[in-house]
Amino acid sequence: MTAHDDPRAPMATDSQMWRAVVARDARSDGAFWYGVTSTGVFCRPSCASRRARRENVRFFASTAAATAAGFRPCKRCTPLAPRDPVAARIEAVARHIDAHADESLPLATLASRARLSPAHFQRRFKSLLGVSPKAYQDGVRLARLKAGLRSGAAVLDAIVGAGFSSTSRVYGEAARNLGMTPSTYRAGGAGETIAYACRATALGLLMMAATDRGVCFAQFGASESGLRRTLASEFPRATLQPSPLAASPQLDAWISAFEAHLGGHGPRPDVPLDLRGTAFQIKVWRFLLGIGEGELMSYSEVAAGIGAPQAVRAAASACGANRIAVLVPCHRVLRGDGGLGGYRWGLDRKRALIDRERSGVRPLSTQPAAVAAR
């Protein structure tokens, strides 16, 4: 029995464990297991099987506890099989980076923790996590910077607290990943105007929002008020306003073209996008933009296409984090077995989008009548 298989070992909270399952986070393998009541199996957090409904998931501190509760091991992720020791050591290094991202972490030092040569460590780390150790550390620092800025910390204090070594470097990195300067982000988007518009489309109510750089948000939802709350959670102090032509002359035209496209009456609009995410996520999203209408790919093909063939789970997670529906076409990515996989706006929408694109002309009609904005 390993330390992680000790039922007395402390577990994360349910919400933390669920987030790890949703992200298929391999770093959580061995920290806990989860059982699915509808299938009777238990899995590692990184299991690539179709995601279960949250209400059907139970968490366990050990494989023994899962077995005692009547669950059998998953044949796909084989939770009772020994783990790849090198992968386990690399995942432990990733957790070390999470905890010490504000420190100087030379490649040689990290490689020694994994008991590998620097070159071998660099290759295996990137193949497992999709980014280099340095890019991974920068991603953790950026997340800390965002948290600090959102909590109201002074910009310089947030930069130092996140572990960035110079303000010139962080402004270049943060402007690319936040879509704005740190001072603007700290203010919750204060001083920035984000225009939005809603339409009842063939796939339900759609909200599209744009900064002066391009579309930063395109999502389906049940109500305009709910979609606006989602938009406001990312930019709590930005000026959010319905799109009058005087304030955003392009947005109404973009969303009208988008609506026509969803109804099967026009091509996908070619609009500028304001992509905001980690370096790895943006790399995946930019790759998705190159997948043509009617073409389908697997998550493994996406990972290979960005030069990280082992980062299949990370590529799938990046697809799931996409905030710009249809324009960044994550709906064109399927599981390796040809199954639909996941889609944050519902599998019915994903299936309808694929059907229309492959037919070339068929209007979308699988959704019930669109909910009116309210």
Judge residue 68's burial from the number of C-beta atoms within 10 Å of its C-beta, 0-12 exposed, 13-18 middle, 19 or more buried: exposed
Beta bridge partners of residue 242, listed in sequence order: 196
Burial of 16 (0-12, 13-18, 19+ CB in 10 A): middle
Q: Tokens at residue 137, please?
A: 């550390």
Here the tokens at position 181 are: 């300067």
How far apart (Å, rounded) are the C-alpha atoms in residues 374 and 363?
A: 25
User: What is the residue whose two structure tokens read 């999709």?
Assistant: 130
Q: Catalytic site residues?
A: 43, 330
Measured CA to CA in angstroms, residue 20 lies from 12, 47, 126, 285 at distances of 10, 11, 19, 21
**CA distance linking residue 94 with residue 370, whole number of Å:** 44
With contact defined as beta carbons under 8 Å apart, do 20 and 14 qualify?
A: no
